[in-house]
Amino acid sequence: MKKLLPALALILFILPLVSAQNLSMEFRIANDEVLAAYIIDFAQPSYQEIVLDLPKDARMIEVYSDNSKIEAKEEDIIEMIRLTVPLLNTNRLKINFTSLGMLEKASKNYFVVDLKIPLNIEELKMTLVLPEGAVLENTNLESVWPKYAELSSDGKSIIVEWSKQDIKEGDSIPLLVIFRENKINWILIFAIMIAIGVAIILFSSKRKKAKKAAKKKGKKATEKKELYLLDSEKAVISLLEKAKGKQLWQKQIQLSTGFSKAKLSRLLRNLEARGLVKRIPIGNTNKIQLK
């Protein structure tokens, strides 16, 4: 019986090391690279050493044990980086890194990764967040592998999620997502804005020139007409040009010029006949309007 006690103690010590764990893997695509985060939740505090295989081009690797940053051994082997993490009373292990190799760009964009599971997992959750504005190549799940994915959105990006239970250590799970990015072509927008600005300037310049030409033409026409006016007729025209709305009552013109009623009537008839003024009869008098 005494000989069995050490063996029993060893078994009790090992049991927490092989307790079921949950693994969460999140991949977020931004600025043509993948920001990855692996989170392992242990059922009980773990003392074991854990080995994970990361992509060959993984960089900015950070390892946290229960929110405390710890050191891990990195080994550069064929087609991957092997990360060995010593654990001491760890409840949660988090590993952050970035990678360019998970993305392949051609006529379409591909997210491709072959995940190797580092230990026995009770529940595995994998999440991919596409770039803002990106869409799947096909609206259904033909652009996603494995097919048991679920699609959702945070209002800005499409989110692809996979869940799986009871995964064995060493199992391999390939992920594939084909998507398109609707990137804004700022150069084209800038060129269009410049073209619109130039068009507005040219249009405005043409309008100003047209107004100036019309004003000049009107001035010349007025000057030409005035060459053939008598001084008394010029006095009437001058009053109308200065009046509000370029119109006055006939009585107002008579009082301002001092002409007799007969003389003013004769002048107005002559001016109207030449198309310079218009008489508008109102009651027993006339309103005179400059044309």
Could you read off the pLDDT of 59-75 as tens digits, one per residue? Answer: 999 999 998 999 999 99
Residue that is written with structure tokens 């300037």 in the block: 201
pLDDT value for 103: 93
In a domain, 273, yes or no: yes
Nearest CA among 159, 30, 172, 160 for reference residue 100: 30
Residue 8 in any domain: the answer is no
For the cut 70, the answer to whether the pLDDT of residue 9 exceeds it is no
pLDDT band at 185 (very low <50, low <70, confident <90, very high): low
- Rounded distance between C-alpha atoms, residue 101 and residue 164, angstroms: 25
Residues 53 and 118 in one domain: yes
Average pLDDT on 196-217 reads 78
**Exposed/middle/buried for residue 254 (C-beta within 10 Å: 0-12, 13-18, 19+):** middle
User: Are 242 and 215 in the same domain?
Assistant: no
Residue owning tokens 């009107």: 218
User: Which of 22-26, 48-52, 137-141 has the highest average model confidence (pLDDT)?
Assistant: 22-26
Question: For the segment 44-53, what is each residue's pLDDT rounded down to a tens digit?
Answer: 888 888 899 9
Q: Nearest CA to 160 among 146, 170, 171?
A: 146
- Tokens representing 44 are 């009980």
271 touches 237 (CB < 8 A):
yes
Reported confidence tier of residue 15, pLDDT bands at 50, 70, 90:
very low
Are 161 and 212 found together in one domain? no
**Pair (165, 276) in one structural domain:** no
Coil, strand, or helix at residue 106?
coil
Q: Looking at residues 27-41, what average pLDDT do you find?
A: 94
Question: What's the CATH code of the domain at 280?
Answer: 1.10.10.10
Same-domain status, 30 and 158: yes
| More confident site: 128 or 9 | 128
Q: CATH number of the domain that 48 lies in?
A: 2.60.40
Rounded to an integer, what distance in angstroms lies between the CA atom of residue 147 and that of residue 140? Answer: 10
> What is the pLDDT, as a whole number, of residue 18?
42
Last residue of a domain, one of 120, 146, 180: 180
Last residue of a domain, one of 123, 149, 180: 180
Instruction: Looking at the structure, tell me whether residues 163 and 55 fall in a common domain.
Output: yes
Q: What is the mean pLDDT of the chain?
A: 84
User: Cα–Cα distance between 112 and 115 in angstroms, integer?
Assistant: 10
Pick the closest to residue 236 from 260, 261, 262, 271 (CA basis).
Answer: 271
DSSP category for residue 138: S
Range with the poorest average pLDDT among 73-82, 105-114, 187-196: 187-196
Sign of CA dihedral 274, 276, 279, 280: positive
In-domain check, residue 9:
no
Kindly state the average pLDDT of the residues 21-33: 93
The answer to whether residue 152 is domain-embedded is: yes
Whether residue 1 is contained in a domain is answered as no
Res. 186: pLDDT tops 90: no
Rounded Cα distance between 160 and 157, Å, is 10
128 and 52 both lie in a single domain? yes
pTM recorded for the entire structure: 0.58
> Is residue 7 a part of any domain in this protein?
no
Q: Do 211 and 155 reside in the same domain of the chain?
A: no
Check whether residue 43 and residue 102 sit in a common domain: yes
User: Which residues constitute the domain of residue 196?
Assistant: 184-227
In the chain, how many domains are there?
3
pLDDT at 17 over 50: no
Residue 163, pLDDT score: 95
pLDDT at 13 over 50: no
- Give the pLDDT band (50/70/90) at residue 274: confident
Query: What is the spatial distance between Cα 47 and Cα 116, in angstroms, rounded to a whole number?
Result: 21
Tell me the pLDDT band of 275, cut-offs 50, 70 and 90: confident
Residue 134 and residue 37 share a domain: yes
3-state SS, residue 119 = coil
Whether residues 25 and 167 share a domain: the answer is yes
C-alpha distance across the termini of the chain, in Å: 129
Which one-letter DSSP state was computed for residue 198?
Answer: H
In a domain, 242, yes or no: yes
Q: To the nearest whole percent, how much of the chain has pLDDT over 70?
A: 86
Tokens of 206: 């043409």
Are both 93 and 195 inside the same structural domain?
no
The amino acid that residue 201 corresponds to is I
pLDDT over 90 for what percent of the chain?
40
The answer, yes or no, to whether residue 94 has pLDDT greater than 70, is yes
What DSSP element (H or E) covers 251? helix 250-257
Q: 219: pLDDT confidence band, cut at 50, 70 and 90?
A: low
Q: Rounded mean pLDDT of 87-110? A: 91
Average pLDDT estimate for 38-59: 90
- Is residue 4, in this structure, part of any structural domain at all? no
